[in-house]
Copies of this chain bind each other. A is one copy, B any other.
């Protein structure tokens, strides 16, 4: 009656496939990745792969969701550090735990962009993309709003709009970096510049 292979094992297998697939997506991009690539990278048979994911889209979305929940964990953590100023929070949100602009980018980002951009005419994908966009906006919006309420930030600009501009910046950077080599885009410097933009818009003192 009990399953031959433990639930753990199943989860593990699934996770393994996703891990291998992630690598493939990073290397080949979303469109150019075929299920065969994944099969080979994950060392699964065709049928085996389809047992876990019913198609490429499904597989990719699973990877996206995973990324999301990981982020959420990280973020959740951050938000608990209650006392810290909203500005610190904002920086952590944008640049990860150390809150400093750096040279790292999510290596899957280009494929994500691909996924959403090539699927922009697909109802399902579009909706999904919008949901994600909204979530992204909301996270930043809340932090900014909080800062504006406590007076830490100027409320000269609408928090939602500022939040959107952050997303725009992040997406634009991901896009450019997907195509240009790092040194052309100047990832870190641009990030620093954008932080300056934000400081000015929020009246955050430079010393922060």
Contacts and interface: CB of A to CB of B under 8 A. Distances in A.
Interface of A: 27-32, 110, 113-114, 116-118, 120-121, 126, 129-130, 133-134, 157-158, 160-162, 164-165, 167-173, 175-176, 178-181, 184-186, 189-190, 193-194, 196-197, 200-201
A169 B169 contact: yes
A31 B31 CA distance: 9
A180 B130 contact: yes
Interface SS majority for chain A: helix
Contact of A120 (B110, B161, B184): B110
Which of A118, A161, A173 is most buried by chain B, counting CB atoms within 10 A of its CB?
Answer: A118
A200 B30 CA distance: 39
A175 B121 contact: no
B28 A133 contact: no
A133 B190 contact: no
Nearest to A199: B200
Nearest to A28: B121
Contacts of A171: 171-172, 175-176
A164 B185 contact: yes
B164 A190 contact: yes
B178 A194 contact: no
Given A31-B31, A200-B197, A200-B200, A116 B168 contact: no
